[in-house]
Amino acid sequence: MSSNRSNYAGSLGEQRIWYWRGWRIRYTHVVGPSFQPDKLQTDDLQTDDSQLDPTEAAPFLLLHGVGASLEQWRENLVELARDRPVYALDLVGFGRSEKIAHPVSTTLWTQQVADFWRTFLGRPMILTGHSLGALVALQTATTYPEQVDRLIMLTLPAARQELGGPASRIGAVVEGWFASPLLIRPLFRLVRQPWLIRSALRAIAQNPQKVDTNLVEGFIRPTRERGAARMFCYLVSSRTSDDFSPLTKELIAQVQMPTLLLWGKCDRVIPIDWGRYVNTLSDQLSLIEIEDAGHFFYDELALEFHSTVERWLTQSASPKAT
């Protein structure tokens, strides 16, 4: 048991704490040759604001999806760090970053990412995000293009304003109901139940066997932290606003750097048809559809994900990276 825990802790890299606007933010750092996973523990968080070790390779920065955390990248951090430094970040309000009493939006998280880049990277990065993290990565790349060498998005959600039709209008009404303070705390107590989280993840997963104890615990642990219920209230109420994020279509049109759009053809959360449409909006995009893959393909088909990314990085090398 302890050996499995140690191996899992090692796969998450060297976790550290950064204070941003007074809020506690967790991130992790992996550099291949100096990475020693047997010396790391998940609960041993260190405060260290030192800069990245100098290296010619553009660093990765990985952004998780909604409800997730840097644990999302458990199968990816070490492998991606073979050729370049890798960082992964818990967006404020998620994971083991602080649960804030503040409205949230993709703009807030974009500002967090930009300030993280200024503090730790200082050179163009390979910005990579999944789902909500992809939307934040996209907004960062279009707002601060000087920070991003290349952009990788693993599925990309539409803004709520882009979801049309009667079903969308009904959904907005239901969201409004659940944003009520009278309902939101009981809802929070329900959605953080382990059996419900496990069931929901298995329903989304293409390979339910990958929904193991570590994955489920990664979603549950943040809900036990101080302020988690209050943060859930802010998240739900913020999500019902049209100001939660800009239009995805408008952001895509502003992309200036080579961009890889990866999509599982069997995604049950964000259907591939949306990805095919998005791919028509910019000449900078390269859409790769992954066969027999769902929403969590980076975890379930990690080897294929890594090889696909590395091939694209080789093909898309830009002048900034040299």
Is 50 exceeded by the pLDDT of residue 178? no
Per DSSP, helices labelled H in 50-105 are 77-80
CB 42 within 8 A of CB 69: no
CB 297 within 8 A of CB 262: yes
- Position 257 scores a pLDDT of 97
Give the integer Cα–Cα distance in Å for 56 and 223: 39
- Position 275 scores a pLDDT of 96
Note whether residue 286 is domain-resident.
Answer: yes
Q: Which CATH number goes with the domain that contains 316?
A: 3.40.50.1820
Note whether residue 169 is domain-resident.
Answer: no
Is 90 exceeded by the pLDDT of residue 21? yes
Beta strand pairing status for 86-89 and 23-30?
antiparallel
Note whether residue 282 is domain-resident.
Answer: yes
**The domain containing residue 104 runs over which residues?**
2-163+244-321
CB 105 within 8 A of CB 244: yes
Predicted confidence band of residue 302 (pLDDT cuts 50, 70, 90): very high
Note whether residue 62 is domain-resident.
Answer: yes
Note whether residue 53 is domain-resident.
Answer: yes
Structural tokens at position 83? 């050729």
Structural tokens at position 90? 């818990």
Note whether residue 173 is domain-resident.
Answer: no
pLDDT: which is higher, 62 or 243: 62
Structural tokens at position 247? 């239009």
- Position 317 scores a pLDDT of 77
Note whether residue 210 is domain-resident.
Answer: no
- Position 153 scores a pLDDT of 98
Predicted confidence band of residue 18 (pLDDT cuts 50, 70, 90): very high
C-alpha distances in angstroms, 177 versus 9, 162, 167, 172?
40, 21, 15, 9
pLDDT tens digits along 145-156: 999 999 999 999
Give the integer Cα–Cα distance in Å for 203 and 58: 36
Average pLDDT for the chain: 84
Predicted confidence band of residue 184 (pLDDT cuts 50, 70, 90): low
Give the integer Cα–Cα distance in Å for 257 and 317: 10
If we measure between CA atoms, which residue out of 61, 307, 299 comes closest to residue 288?
Answer: 307
DSSP 52: P
Predicted confidence band of residue 141 (pLDDT cuts 50, 70, 90): very high
Predicted confidence band of residue 162 (pLDDT cuts 50, 70, 90): confident
If we measure between CA atoms, which residue out of 291, 313, 310, 287 comes closest to residue 301?
Answer: 291
Note whether residue 18 is domain-resident.
Answer: yes
3-state SS assignment for residue 132: helix
- Domains: count for the chain: 1
- Average pLDDT (64-83) is 94
Is 70 exceeded by the pLDDT of residue 161? yes
- Average pLDDT (293-302) is 96
